[in-house]
Structure 1
Amino acid sequence: MQWRRHVAGFAFCFVFVVSCFTNKFVLSVLKFTFPTLFQGWQTSVGAVLLLLCGKLGWVELSRISRSAALPWIPASLLFVGNIYAGSRALSRIDIPFFFTLQNCSHVVSHVILRVAHGQKTQRLKSISICLLLLSAINLPLCDPKFDYGGYLWAVGHLLCVGDLVGALEFPSLQSHTFHCGCCASALLGFLLLLATVKLKSGLSQEHFGIWNFLSKVTAMSLSPFIFSMDSNAPSLMCVVISHAGEALLVYSDREPQL
């Protein structure tokens, strides 16, 4: 029923926002700048929870042959790069600016489709791609606290999505806040995965794109109330233009291909 789709969408939006804020808290506020350990912790907890859900019959797990797993290796490497570079970037860049740069992954995907498959582009999609690219290029020039390293990691992140800075202070292992933050991040990451699968199974890719867009806008709108943020009119304009371009991209995906 239609109301069930909305429930799944709101659940995805809620988990997306809380997961994003938790990751930002652990990476920025608690200064946990060791993405490899962070990723390993999340993967371990997620694997245990997934196996537990499989044992309880909540999800269906099937064995994967070696021949079927081999084609996944390139995508797995890109996924590792995505998480590592994304964690580095998120620890140093404000959430609205991070999403503005991340939106350029649509540009990377667009170029790959044009070159590899010769896919034609609608006029609306071309305009949206230009808006995404223009806002991302101008954002570093407008950011009042430009961080070269953070933006460099963001570029690596968006490249991995579309297709060591010196160690800082390590959080005290006796910190209950640190333990709770890492546990919550791992648990929310697992819940976000389940919510994503549930939402995609009940909706088309275009409708999933709408919920994903709404989730990012919600996270960006609430983030200044949770985390300190230095911004100015030009940088905020880049954020607005980027997500106007993404909204146009989502709308163009719903239009019939010419």
Structure 2
Amino acid sequence: MCVRRCLVGLTFCTCYLASYLTNKYVLSVLKFTYPTLFQGWQTLIGGLLLHVSWKLGWAEINSTSRSDVSTWLPASVLFVGIIYAGSRALSKLAIPVFLTLHNVAEVIICGHQKCFRKEKTSPEKICSTLFLLAAAGCLPFNDPQQVRATPYAGCPVPVTPTASFSGAYKIVQKSRKPNALSDIEQQYLNYMFSVVLLAVASHPTGDLFSVLDFPFLYFYRFHGSCCASGLLGFFLMLSTVKLKNLVAPGQYAAWIFFAKVITAGLSVLLFDMILTNAMVGCLLLGGLGEALLVFSEQKSS
């Protein structure tokens, strides 16, 4: 059983690393900055593969009631916000910076649990959220070239759209009735809704016709990277669901932290990134905050 958990965890880390690096390559190196089309493609591939897996009996998707589907739609809207805003942010930010800013989602979740649900919060978790918030808040002042060039610049504390959507999504997900929808069923609905909404939005945003001017539109490396991004996104989703259902919450958080550290470290070697002492300090502070979060999750589980 322990070997199986390790294999699933390593598979998850591999998919996480490969997915982020591939997406970063398409968005930043090839500069394919058309988020409705790029994320629409990824969700289309994910939805098709998940549908085929369901029909072949490899994934279990039960018939759900209309009430379950309709009540999940707000979460699907938030999911579209996550992937759309995430695509825009990742095209401008280095991966370590993106991950540090994205951790503000944990601050939002902790604040909701403390203020609205009146849940008891451990000192470790409070310290963790403070470190995460401080790291994200200091980054715009120590990495102005990359952070202040983004659409969410100007906020004293950069609660990025991606983090806001992600935090709200997890809050909605945790508030769902037990056994209403499985993780696979939730993702299936997310895929279906995203494909439709992003396809409709591609014309008003201008992506549908602007993409015709993309210089690498007919290059094989662009086609190969896009295919890889769709497949890797699907396998990342499957490995995430498998890992989440196989290990305790504390272990799940530890695997995510491990995957982020590897991805952030390797991305510095593969992509251009200007590192200053102050910026490294912000990134390390964010890492310390997430390590404390993992510790608090393991302590409470």
Q: Determine if contact 1:149/1:165 at 8 Å carries over to the other structure.
A: no
Distance, in Å, in 2 between the alignment partners of 1:256 and 1:111 is: 18
What corresponds to 2:219 in structure 1? 175
**In the alignment, is residue 198 of structure 1 matched against residue 267 of structure 2?**
no
What SS does structure 2 have at the residue aligned with 1:145?
helix
Distance, in Å, in 2 between the alignment partners of 1:26 and 1:251 is: 35
What SS does structure 2 have at the residue aligned with 1:59?
coil
What corresponds to 2:165 in structure 1? 160
Q: Determine if contact 2:97/2:283 at 8 Å carries over to the other structure.
A: yes
What corresponds to 1:111 in structure 2? 111
Alignment of 1:141-160 (within 5 A): 141-143=141-143, 145-150=145-150, 152=152, 155-160=160-165
Give the superposition deviation at 1:247.
0.4
**In the alignment, is residue 64 of structure 1 matched against residue 69 of structure 2?**
no
Distance, in Å, in 1 between the alignment partners of 2:282 and 2:206 is: 27
Give the superposition deviation at 1:251.
0.1
Distance, in Å, in 1 between the alignment partners of 2:42 and 2:57 is: 22
Give the superposition deviation at 1:65.
2.0
Q: Determine if contact 2:108/2:164 at 8 Å carries over to the other structure.
A: yes
Distance, in Å, in 1 between the alignment partners of 2:165 and 2:78 is: 5
What corresponds to 1:226 in structure 2? 270
What SS does structure 1 have at the residue aligned with 2:258?
helix
Q: Deviations over 1:6-35 (max 9, x none)?
A: 010000000100000001011111111111
Q: Deviations over 1:147-173 (max 9, x none)?
A: 434261871110001117997962432
Q: Determine if contact 2:249/2:298 at 8 Å carries over to the other structure.
A: no
**In the alignment, is residue 239 of structure 1 matched against residue 283 of structure 2?**
yes
Distance, in Å, in 2 between the alignment partners of 1:194 and 1:206 is: 19
Unmatched segments (≥5 aa) in structure 1: none
Distance, in Å, in 1 between the alignment partners of 2:167 and 2:137 is: 17
Give the superposition deviation at 1:61.
2.1
Distance, in Å, in 2 between the alignment partners of 1:165 and 1:48 is: 26
TM-score by length of 2: 0.81
Which amino acid is 2:65 matched to? S
Distance, in Å, in 2 between the alignment partners of 1:245 and 1:151 is: 25
What corresponds to 1:29 in structure 2? 29
Distance, in Å, in 2 between the alignment partners of 1:212 and 1:111 is: 21
What corresponds to 1:76 in structure 2? 76
Identify if the C-alpha distance between structure 1 residues 244 and 176 changes in structure 2 by more than 3 Å, giving closer, same or farther. same
Distance, in Å, in 1 between the alignment partners of 2:17 and 2:147 is: 24
TM-score by length of 1: 0.94
What SS does structure 1 have at the residue aligned with 2:145?
coil
Identify if the C-alpha distance between structure 1 residues 8 and 73 changes in structure 2 by more than 3 Å, giving closer, same or farther. same
Which amino acid is 2:265 matched to? S
Distance, in Å, in 1 between the alignment partners of 2:112 and 2:236 is: 27
Give the superposition deviation at 1:104.
1.0
Unmatched segments (≥5 aa) in structure 2: 154-158, 169-204
Identify if the C-alpha distance between structure 1 residues 3 and 91 changes in structure 2 by more than 3 Å, giving closer, same or farther. same
What corresponds to 2:172 in structure 1? none
Distance, in Å, in 2 between the alignment partners of 1:188 and 1:211 is: 18
**In the alignment, is residue 93 of structure 1 matched against residue 93 of structure 2?**
yes
Give the superposition deviation at 1:240.
0.5
Identify if the C-alpha distance between structure 1 residues 109 and 165 changes in structure 2 by more than 3 Å, giving closer, same or farther. farther
Identity of aligned residues (%): 43
Give the stretch that moved more between structures: 63-72 or 207-216: 63-72
What corresponds to 2:256 in structure 1? 212
Q: Deviations over 1:115-152 (max 9, x none)?
A: 22011221111111111111111011001523434261
What corresponds to 2:178 in structure 1? none
RMSD: 1.9
What corresponds to 2:177 in structure 1? none
2:233 to 172, 180, 189: 189
Total equivalences in the alignment: 257
Identify if the C-alpha distance between structure 1 residues 246 and 5 changes in structure 2 by more than 3 Å, giving closer, same or farther. same
**In the alignment, is residue 8 of structure 1 matched against residue 13 of structure 2?**
no
What SS does structure 1 have at the residue aligned with 2:51?
helix
